[in-house]
Structure 1
Amino acid sequence: MKLLKTTFLCFFISVLSTSAQSVQDIINSVDIDIITQVISEFSGEESTIVDGNSVTILNREYNNNDVAADYLVEKFEQLDNLTITDQAFNTSGRNIIATQLGQTNPNDIYVICAHYDTVADYCADDNASGVAAVLEAARILSTQCLDNTIVYALWDEEEIGLRGSLFYSNEAASNGDNILGVLNLDMIGYDGDAPGQPGDNEFDIDVRNIAGSIAMKDAIVNVLNSYVFDLDVIVVDPGTSFSDHASFWSNNYSAVLLGESWETNDQTPFYHTSGDRFNTLDLPYLHEMVKLTTAYMATVGGLVSVDNTVSQTPTMLTANQTSASYQWINCDTDLPISGATNQSYTPTVSGTYAVEVTSGACTEISECFEFDTLGLDSFVASEVKLFPNPVKSQLHIDVSGIDGAIALDLFDVSGKLILQKTSSDHITSLPMKELPEGVYFLKLTSAQKTGTYKVVKK
């Protein structure tokens, strides 16, 4: 059983979750800090960890982007409920694809996609911005029960002829795949107004009367008008064919391009140059664009309203979904707790716990929550960073915001203590190369706080 990424919150908080139960909750869950971190790493502004090594992804040109592709694979691997395909379509091209199978209509497929290759260094807007949006949609929606299948696709070799998306589209058509809509995101982070200042915030939807593309455009506009976004739409018909959505038009699939407004000449002036840097992006505008695209995918994906949030008191955990079946799980062992099948559960020992909620045909698992019978507070997310996770050799623990010694205890899924260490360093490394592949749990304890984190060893 795979659990969602662990979140630790203080014991006195009444309702604990970052998971969404409605489209509005989906919108509220879009995290600009996560988006900007991905763009900074993927455009080479900051170093990152790939395959256990510190790297800088400065350039993603088609014959120089294997590290970038590996980064994307590892990002998808951190999420649950996804099947990942590393699709080699020629000697150098790799599409990175993650599929979330629909619970009710698995053959009804919607695609959200972006290209990740470039023609120069950096290229934050073109198209790290679109890549970050696809990853953010996957981060949020992979925790949810959906009626329909969503494919999160990141294409290679767009810049030299739409090769990656065309390969996928041709193969899908040959297989008879029932793709009902393709949302292509290409350059969604630049707005000509001063970053963060009020302005037109216009964006283009490029569309043509092919298959159900017009209806797809209308559905996006309907989402735009149904919730509050600081965006104004410009419909371009006939729209451009110079991006990956055109590969699907060629096979008579419904598809649109969503991006900053080329129609009003409000595209980045740094297009296809190494001047396309992170500091040229308008982050509030980008945030709105990702909220809209994620909300649209939640809508067409058929978001099922299963409440997997948990309420907590100093003595009890309670699932907020009523009229359901429940199974409480010990996150420290990744195993169900025998007999713990009621809506509420009272832990007898300190640890991390989650609940599996089954309502109708859908089952969702809550996040893991720290429950401390000793009364210690939990570390907040910004205080502890673990990377890489999944890990192959060295696990790095960054506690730069914490002073004093911290005890580190690594357990396997059976609860057996594997490694133990005390450190006062801001960054500590644990050797994991010789450990078997599988799930482990790292418990950190300072004088004032504690937390337990899920680690996947590859």
Structure 2
Amino acid sequence: MKTFKATILCLFLCTYNSYSQSIQDIIDKVDLDILSLTIQEFSGEVTTVVDGNTVTIINRQQANNDLAGDYLVQKFEQLDNITITDQFFNTNGRNIIATQLGKTNPQDIYIICGHYDSVADYCADDNATGTTAVLEAARILSTQCLDNTIVYALWDEEETGLQGSQFYANQAFNNGDNILGVLNLDMMGYDGDAVGQPGDNEFDIDYINAADSEGMKDDIISVLNAYTFDLSVVEVNPGTTSSDHSSFWFVGSFPDDAFSAVLLGESWETNDETPFYHSSGDRFSTLDLPYFYELTKLTTAYMATVGGLVNVDNNVTQTLTTLTADQASASYQWINCNTNASISGATSQSYIPSVSGNYAVEITIGTCTEISNCIIFDTLGLDNFLASEVKVFPNPVKANLNVEMTDNNETIALDLFDVSGKLVLQKSITNQPISLHMKNLPQGIYFLKVSSSKKTGTYKIVKE
């Protein structure tokens, strides 16, 4: 069993909303901190760790982007329920593809994709943004059971003639793949309008009147209207052919053999594209992150919708003594997240831990199995710290994480967990100041549990 990649939440007595069953729940799981860090790593603004080595991915030009490809493979390897294809299509060209098979209709395929190569250093908007949005959709949806198959595809050599996507599209056509829709994400992080002003947050959907691409466009707009997004759509018909979606339009004999495909991104139609296009000035600092966040929520919601999200509730309710899976009439297996081991005999809907720890439940209904978030459980039943009683800073942190308490006389226990639920640092302090040395830890999202004899609390930490 792989390490659990679900996020640890709070210690409050509450229902833990993990990657659960509704489209709105999926939207709520899109994480701006993760998006921000991934863009910075993939565009070379900060270092990252690839295959155990600390590296900087400044350039992703097609003859120099193996490091970027390795980073993407590593990202997908951290997920469950997917199969990774490292697809080499010429001397330098390399598509990175992850496939999540549908539980009911595995032959029905939807693709969310973007190109990861660039023409200069950095290139945050073009196309670290689209790449990051695909990774975020995979991070969230790979925890879910879906009726249909989703392919998370990241193309190489788009900048030299759409070569990676053309190779895949032609191969899919020759194989007779039943591709029902291709959502291409290319440059979705720049919006030049002042926040809150009329016209702000416009985005384009490029489509053509072939292979029901217009119907696909309508379905995206239906999702846009069904939930709350701070976005305004601009329909572009006929859409541009200068990105990877057009590889799926022009296969076989056009238009009879075309696949349904659209492009979604910032609004070139209204001349609101990045002024740093195809230059090393295309940096993270030029992006409108709230705008990008909204577009990522929309695209993830659309993929969850067409993927056919299976209604399995993997939430867990915690009381002082008991953990209970919210889903009734299922098979259950409780798991110790610190060891990734199943707990012998813990196969009921409720579980009463005998010791404090970090727990999750695996829920199975028919062919669908989902795993809850890892939950930090304290058998002592302590109260939670008030916001005024604990200060954790700086956050994001690069080296030393400081913790200040209003009560200076208490012995404080610090437990730092990564997003998989693994305990990575532990410290007990009697006298302040309190500090955790995080400089040598990989960048990413962590959760700090702070405990005294009377109270406890858990805090989300971003390590840069």
Residues 443 and 450, structure 1, Cα contact 8 Å, conserved in 2: no
| Separation in structure 1 between the aligned mates of residue 305 and residue 241 of structure 2, nearest angstrom | 26
* Correspondence list, 1:38-57, <5 A: 38-57=38-57
| Separation in structure 2 between the aligned mates of residue 31 and residue 407 of structure 1, nearest angstrom | 23
Matched with 1:433 is none
- Pair 445,141 (structure 1): closer, same or farther in 2 beyond 3 Å: closer
Residues 6 and 372, structure 2, Cα contact 8 Å, conserved in 1: no
1:336-366 residue CA offsets vs partner (Å, 9 max, x unmatched): 2232222111011222211111234322111
| Separation in structure 2 between the aligned mates of residue 123 and residue 196 of structure 1, nearest angstrom | 27
* 1:184 match: secondary structure: strand
Matched with 1:98 is 98
| Separation in structure 2 between the aligned mates of residue 76 and residue 197 of structure 1, nearest angstrom | 38
* Correspondence list, 1:307-386, <5 A: 307-374=313-380
Matched with 1:89 is 89
* 1:63 match: secondary structure: coil
Matched with 2:164 is 164
| Separation in structure 2 between the aligned mates of residue 172 and residue 314 of structure 1, nearest angstrom | 53
Does 2:311 correspond to 1:305? yes
Residues 30 and 291, structure 1, Cα contact 8 Å, conserved in 2: yes
1:57-98 residue CA offsets vs partner (Å, 9 max, x unmatched): 111111111111111111111111111111111111111111
| Separation in structure 1 between the aligned mates of residue 273 and residue 349 of structure 2, nearest angstrom | 52
- Pair 62,340 (structure 1): closer, same or farther in 2 beyond 3 Å: same
| Separation in structure 1 between the aligned mates of residue 291 and residue 160 of structure 2, nearest angstrom | 28
1:352 is matched by which residue type in structure 2? N
Aligned-residue offset at 1:210: 2.1
Does 2:54 correspond to 1:65? no
Aligned-residue offset at 1:198: 6.0
Matched with 2:401 is 400
Aligned-residue offset at 1:144: 0.8
1:167-210 residue CA offsets vs partner (Å, 9 max, x unmatched): 11111112111111000000111112135766432111111122
| Separation in structure 2 between the aligned mates of residue 44 and residue 323 of structure 1, nearest angstrom | 48
1:149-179 residue CA offsets vs partner (Å, 9 max, x unmatched): 1000111100000011111111111211111
1:263 is matched by which residue type in structure 2? E
Does 2:129 correspond to 1:129? yes
* 2:401 match: secondary structure: coil
- Pair 328,289 (structure 1): closer, same or farther in 2 beyond 3 Å: same
Residues 402 and 426, structure 1, Cα contact 8 Å, conserved in 2: no
* Correspondence list, 1:248-287, <5 A: 248-251=248-251, 252-287=258-293
Unpaired runs of at least 5, structure 2: 252-257, 386-390, 405-411, 430-434, 459-464
Matched with 1:218 is 218
| Separation in structure 2 between the aligned mates of residue 149 and residue 119 of structure 1, nearest angstrom | 32
Matched with 2:149 is 149
TM-score, normalization by structure 1 = 0.84
- Pair 203,407 (structure 1): closer, same or farther in 2 beyond 3 Å: closer
Residues 30 and 296, structure 2, Cα contact 8 Å, conserved in 1: yes
| Separation in structure 2 between the aligned mates of residue 76 and residue 67 of structure 1, nearest angstrom | 15
Matched with 1:390 is none
| Separation in structure 2 between the aligned mates of residue 145 and residue 378 of structure 1, nearest angstrom | 34
Does 2:35 correspond to 1:35? yes
Unpaired runs of at least 5, structure 1: 385-396, 410-414, 431-441, 452-458
* 2:41 match: secondary structure: helix
Does 2:297 correspond to 1:296? no
Does 2:426 correspond to 1:426? no
| Separation in structure 1 between the aligned mates of residue 113 and residue 316 of structure 2, nearest angstrom | 33
| Separation in structure 2 between the aligned mates of residue 213 and residue 166 of structure 1, nearest angstrom | 18
* 1:400 match: secondary structure: strand
Aligned-residue offset at 1:323: 2.3
Matched with 2:409 is none
What RMSD, in angstroms, separates the aligned Cα atoms of the two structures? Answer: 3.4
Count the aligned residue pairs. Answer: 426
| Separation in structure 1 between the aligned mates of residue 145 and residue 44 of structure 2, nearest angstrom | 34
Matched with 1:183 is 183
**Deviates further, 108-117 or 225-234:** 225-234
TM-score, normalization by structure 2 = 0.83
Residues 62 and 93, structure 1, Cα contact 8 Å, conserved in 2: yes
| Separation in structure 2 between the aligned mates of residue 136 and residue 10 of structure 1, nearest angstrom | 22
1:299-322 residue CA offsets vs partner (Å, 9 max, x unmatched): 000001110010111210000112
2:141 is matched by which residue type in structure 1? L
1:202-223 residue CA offsets vs partner (Å, 9 max, x unmatched): 1111111221211111111111
- Pair 261,6 (structure 1): closer, same or farther in 2 beyond 3 Å: closer
- Pair 178,93 (structure 1): closer, same or farther in 2 beyond 3 Å: same
- Pair 20,398 (structure 1): closer, same or farther in 2 beyond 3 Å: farther
| Separation in structure 2 between the aligned mates of residue 250 and residue 201 of structure 1, nearest angstrom | 31
| Separation in structure 2 between the aligned mates of residue 328 and residue 277 of structure 1, nearest angstrom | 45
**Deviates further, 50-59 or 325-334:** 325-334
Aligned-residue offset at 1:399: 6.4
